[in-house]
Amino acid sequence: MSLAANLGYPRFGAHRELKRALESYWSGKISERDLLNTGRQLRLTHWQLQRDAGIDVIPSNDFSFYDQVLDTSAMVGAIPARYAHLDTTPLDTYFAMARGLQKNALDISAMEMTKWFDTNYHYIVPEIELGQTFQITSTKVLDEFLEARQVGIHTRPVLLGPVSYLLLSKSVTVDSHIVEAGNPSTLTNPLAALTNLLPVYTEILSRLAAAGADWVQIDEPCLVLDLDEAAHHAYAAAYDQLSRVKGIQIMLATYFGGLGDNLAVAVGLPVAGLHIDLARAPQQLPTVLAQFPADKMLSLGVINGRNIWRTDLDAAFTTVQHAAATLGTDRLQIAPSCSLMFSPHDLALETELDAELRSWLAFARQKLDEVVLLKRALDEGLDAVTEPFAASRTAIERRRSSSRTQNPQVRARVEAVNDMMFHRQSDYPARKTRQAQQFALPPLPTTTIGSFPQTTEVRAQRTAFNKGTLSLSDYHAFLKTEIERTIRLQEEIGLDVLVHGEFERTDMVEYFGEQLTGIAFTQHGWVQSYGSRGVRPPIIYGDVARPAPMTVDWSVYAQSLTDRPVKGMLTGPVTILEWSFVRDDQPHAATCQQIALAVRDEVLDLENAGIGVIQIDEPALREGLPLRRADWAEYLQWAVDCFRLAASGVRDETQIHTHMCYAEFNDILEAIARMDADVISIEASRSKLELLEAFQRYEYPNSVGPGVYDIHSPRIPTQEEIETLILRTTGVLSLNQIWINPDCGLKTRHWEEVIPALERMVSAAKQAREILLSGSGANT
């Protein structure tokens, strides 16, 4: 008999209970006990839900109050020195690592945050010092296993594997959390810490075995990346040691891609089972089966854990049968491709989606049912699942033939795209000269990334409007008041290029998706991005077009209030694509080009309405990069082309900005340069501007705004701190290249944090400007 397994379940709760509890705790409205009780109730609910669905292998320790990588750092004692002696509870130390801490005389920055592989989830980057020592400082994985056992549910605990943990880490100096990137004398290879780390993992496994755990799921997602010989040796050494722990078997979980040239390493490790992703890499199954040892269990990730489309059960069952014919049913587990944390909770909550579209979808709860159906089909025969398989077949066929998925006008327009549409009128130096004459900005011009705080009042007014208790005219009057107040505030602070604040927007993708055809939205389809931050991705089910202008009226109104430039704020085509659940019946490149044409129309309408600075955000460009370098060129070609298609129709005098954040851009700078944005703003403050050296080495030609204010932390930076970052920037880039801005939009922050932070940022820019223009040491 096969087993129905799951690798992880969404943490937020069906109604975002975790988000609300976290934010209430951080604001002092509930106690630590209240927060812990919420977490306990969510875990219990999710374990029972999976058991009742028929899942045989239920995960524990897949829950987190912030991030599973941060949980691992807490477990192994990799707590940077700046947090190690805080006079706080362990939970508050944990949150300080994620968010920073500014309280009384304490002023401690947060750890760096970056994207988890090619997802929109963010993890907290571990910091590994030379000679790093480890010890068990959190027993969360054991505690949650015992918690489930107390209610009669036997779980398979989940751990992030030691090799992936180290490969995802950053090396730091012993006496500072600042990494001096590019200076080998201060850097170590994080894998050098493996010898010290393994005894902690060994002890954890021993304790789990003693508590009654018979299997543990150890996630090693880095096995789908390009790895060198040192990493291969690290895997061999790690699992040679971990496999010696008696009484517990290891299911090694890989996901987000195929094993490729790491297959021999993976199947050769002395573990009891291997999970493979057959949604992202279905082509790997024959090769895996050909090399698979006779003593191992194979977990088949045939249900896509990262999308919301109903599974073609016939196709998935064919895959399962193929594996069963080789290995037999007793050596098979049927599972999602990865944790279901990347999928919304439950389609049953979406009462406002039309019946046809609903029939095409499956959220996390429904994916559990699909796993169980495949297990039943394999163990009991297809006659046992005739009705649900027929329903799946009908939904797949109706979606394939639906007229809702194709728009002939959109397809004709795509066919008419020509090479001239991908190029600006002049090269960057000529544009820069014209823009300098147009805007007359000072050196080190200051701006923000776009959004300002979405206060309780802003959200309440939006909710009232959406419920019909506030009229359109009253809602627009409120928004205009907020915009004018924000324009005046920016003028008072002294910012050079302003924004309107985006108070009319719930989300930078959702707002645009609601005004484009071929896209649907959910009520409860929330997915965690980091900590308490959730997003509700649009569902791109058909061809995309823009029926009417989306942002022009608000931008024009804001510009009418001031003589300073006000940026038109747009989300770029790649980000709209990557932060949506995208149709899987045509290449992503085709869908992205449709979106690019819609954004291009908006850009031209903004320009024609008198908006001279237009920002097209592309924070997801790096996120969409394939995990294997061999696949990069194809992706970067169409992704950059889509940005250029959206941005290149404007006059030379119109200044195009873009924004990117929380990812590693060093290795794609050539592609970023090919985007040919006049100004790019980037996240840089948490890493203390590590990225700048890459821009210097590449000799990046256009203007750059490295973030000097970390907006993902409530901490307010000092003026001196910002000034130091600015002066460091001028030692790397020329003075006439640099813009001064925060890391990202300010939507999630509070006004009492934002105002002093921006005041200090502007004052620091002015002070740095005076120093540099007086002749002390800047590049020019």
pLDDT per residue over 70-88, tens digit each? 999 999 999 999 998 888 9
Q: Are 273 and 299 in contact (CB under 8 A)?
A: yes
Q: Report the C-alpha gap between 605 and 610 in whole angstroms.
A: 9
Per-residue pLDDT tens digits for 546-603? 999 999 999 999 999 999 999 999 999 999 999 999 999 999 999 999 999 999 999 9
Average pLDDT over residues 308-333: 97
Please name the residue ranges forming H helices in 494-551: 510-513
* Residue 376 backbone class (left: φ over 0; alpha: ψ -120 to 50; beta: rest): alpha
Q: What is the mean pLDDT of the chain?
A: 93
pTM: 0.91
Average pLDDT over residues 156-183: 74
Catalytic residue selected from 423, 500, 712, 750: 712
Which residues, in sequence order, are bridge partners of residue 299?
Answer: 275, 333
Per-residue pLDDT tens digits for 385-410? 999 999 999 999 999 999 999 999 99
Q: What is the pLDDT of residue 173?
A: 67
DSSP 229-266: HHHHHHHHHHHHHHTTSTT-EEEEE--SS--GGGHHHH
Residue 175 scores a pLDDT above 80: no
What tokens were used for 362? Answer: 């499956």
Q: What is the pLDDT of residue 732?
A: 84
pLDDT band at 186 (very low <50, low <70, confident <90, very high): very low
Per-residue pLDDT tens digits for 598-622? 999 999 999 999 999 999 999 999 8
- Using a 10 angstrom Cβ sphere, with 0-12 exposed, 13-18 middle and 19 or more buried, the burial of residue 17 is middle
Q: What is the pLDDT of residue 264?
A: 97
Average pLDDT over residues 283-290: 98
Q: Report the C-alpha gap between 351 and 640 in whole angstroms.
A: 38
Q: What is the pLDDT of residue 179?
A: 39
- Which H/E stretch holds residue 296? none
Average pLDDT over residues 508-533: 94
Q: Are 357 and 308 in contact (CB under 8 A)?
A: no
Residue 522 CA neighbour count, 13 Å, CB half: 29
Average pLDDT over residues 46-55: 98
The contacts of residue 376 (CB under 8 Å, 6+ apart) are: 384, 385
Q: What is the pLDDT of residue 697?
A: 79
Q: Name residue, tokens 């088949």.
A: 300
| Count of beta carbons in the 10 Å neighbourhood of residue 780 | 11
Residue 347 scores a pLDDT above 60: yes
Q: Report the C-alpha gap between 535 and 505 in whole angstroms.
A: 13
Q: Report the C-alpha gap between 267 and 239 in whole angstroms.
A: 12
What tokens were used for 303? Answer: 């249900």
CA triplet 219, 208, 295: central angle to 5 degrees? 60
E strand residue ranges, 262-375 = 273-277, 297-303, 332-336
Q: What is the pLDDT of residue 690?
A: 66
The contacts of residue 580 (CB under 8 Å, 6+ apart) are: 509, 513, 519, 537, 538, 539, 540
Q: How far is CA 260 from CA 224, 288, 289, 372, 636, in A?
A: 7, 9, 13, 28, 21
Residue 484 scores a pLDDT above 60: yes
Residue 35 scores a pLDDT above 60: yes
Q: Report the C-alpha gap between 13 and 18 in whole angstroms.
A: 6
pLDDT band at 715 (very low <50, low <70, confident <90, very high): confident
Residues of the chain with pLDDT > 90, as a percent, come to: 85
Q: Name residue, tokens 């965690």.
A: 528
Residue 174 scores a pLDDT above 60: no
- Which H/E stretch holds residue 615? strand 613-617
Q: Name residue, tokens 């046992």.
A: 384
Specify whether 712 is catalytic: yes
Which residues, in sequence order, are bridge partners of residue 569?
Answer: 615
Residue 642 scores a pLDDT above 90: yes
Q: How far is CA 582 from CA 288, 333, 397, 589, 643, in A?
A: 28, 28, 18, 11, 18
> What sign results for the dihedral spanned by CA atoms 95, 98, 103, 107?
positive
Q: Report the C-alpha gap between 511 and 348 in whole angstroms.
A: 24
pLDDT band at 183 (very low <50, low <70, confident <90, very high): very low
pLDDT band at 176 (very low <50, low <70, confident <90, very high): very low
Q: Report the C-alpha gap between 703 and 705 in whole angstroms.
A: 7
pLDDT band at 487 (very low <50, low <70, confident <90, very high): very high
Q: How far is CA 378 from CA 14, 170, 373, in A?
A: 31, 44, 9
> What sign results for the dihedral spanned by CA atoms 707, 713, 716, 721?
negative
- Name the residue among 394, 511, 512, 496 with its Cα closest to residue 448: 496
Average pLDDT over residues 373-395: 97
Q: What is the pLDDT of residue 162?
A: 98
Per-residue pLDDT tens digits for 216-231? 999 999 999 999 999 9
Q: Report the C-alpha gap between 575 and 615 in whole angstroms.
A: 13
Please report, for the chain, how many H helices and E strands are present, in that order. Answer: 28, 24
